[in-house]
Amino acid sequence: MCFTIVFKWINKHSIIYSYTINIATLVKILRVIISVNMEVNSMTILFALLILAALLVILLFTVKSKVDFVFDTTASDMHVTLFWLYPLLKSVIRRENNMLVADIYLLNRRFLTKRINQKLPSTGNTNILKSINPTDIHVDTRYGFRDPFVTGLATSAITMASEYFNVESLNQRPDFLAINDYISLDATARLNLGRSLLKLI
């Protein structure tokens, strides 16, 4: 069965015109129009996503992230927090049940938790820190040992390490009269995520 629509109109000379449209043909035309619009919309969305991805890659190499490292033996706390374009991205690496766990947040909402393999590369910790090249390093530390001699050694070791890693500011408060051994360290730094990831891969 074929359905048609007939259009009729009269011009100024009173001549009657008519035009017949087949419904099936009209449906085909509408489908073509809709499919074209969907393709255009899909291409627009894909193009926008590509631009966004390229922008994020550029920012990854140009905008430095902030890293905060906390180590406190008294509170049994050790964690590293990384901020990049905060609150867009935040990552917290913490110790849980003798394992390292990474929590990743997007817009302050946690969307991924993953255990980290604690095996270190053959290059070692020192070379890793040198390769990622942290800058603008600030260290605030308090520590004390029951043996004052050990406290003195720790003071010298921290001073030499700060010169090796080009620490911008170092505030250390050794306790030579400590009753119990303890270490409290709070360090911040800036890090280029793009370059660091390329060097670690």
Q: Domain with 129 in it: what CATH number?
A: 3.30.1330
Place of tokens 């000379």: 13
pLDDT at 146 over 70: yes
Comparing 107 with 197, the larger pLDDT belongs to: 107
Residue at a domain's end among 61, 76, 108: 61
Instruction: Tell me which long-range contacts 126-135 makes (C-beta under 8 A, separation of at least 24).
Output: 128/200, 129/165, 131/196, 131/199, 131/200, 132/191, 132/195, 132/196, 132/199, 132/200, 133/191, 133/192, 133/195, 133/196, 134/67, 134/165, 134/189, 134/190, 134/191, 135/64, 135/166, 135/189, 135/190, 135/191
**Rounded CA gap, 188 and 167, in Å?**
10
Domains: count for the chain: 2
pLDDT of residue 148: 93
pLDDT at 128 over 80: no
pLDDT of residue 10: 45
| pLDDT tier at 86, thresholds 50, 70, 90 | confident
Task: Give a yes or no: residue 172 inside a domain.
Answer: yes
Comparing 99 with 119, the larger pLDDT belongs to: 99
Q: 44 and 132 share a domain?
A: no
Q: 140 and 179 share a domain?
A: yes
Mean of per-residue pLDDT scores for the chain: 79
Q: 148 and 78 share a domain?
A: yes
- Inter-axis angle of helices 193-200 and 23-62, to 10 degrees? 90
Q: 141 and 170 share a domain?
A: yes
| pLDDT tier at 16, thresholds 50, 70, 90 | very low
pLDDT at 172 over 80: yes
Mean pLDDT lowest for which of 25-29, 46-50, 86-90, 151-155?
A: 25-29
Comparing 43 with 12, the larger pLDDT belongs to: 43
Percent of the chain scored above 90 by pLDDT? 33
pLDDT at 163 over 50: yes
pLDDT of residue 15: 44
Domain boundaries, position 29: 4-61
pLDDT at 197 over 60: yes
pLDDT of residue 27: 61
Task: Give a yes or no: residue 91 inside a domain.
Answer: no
pTM of the entire structure?
0.69
**Rounded CA gap, 170 and 73, in Å?**
20
pLDDT at 184 over 90: yes
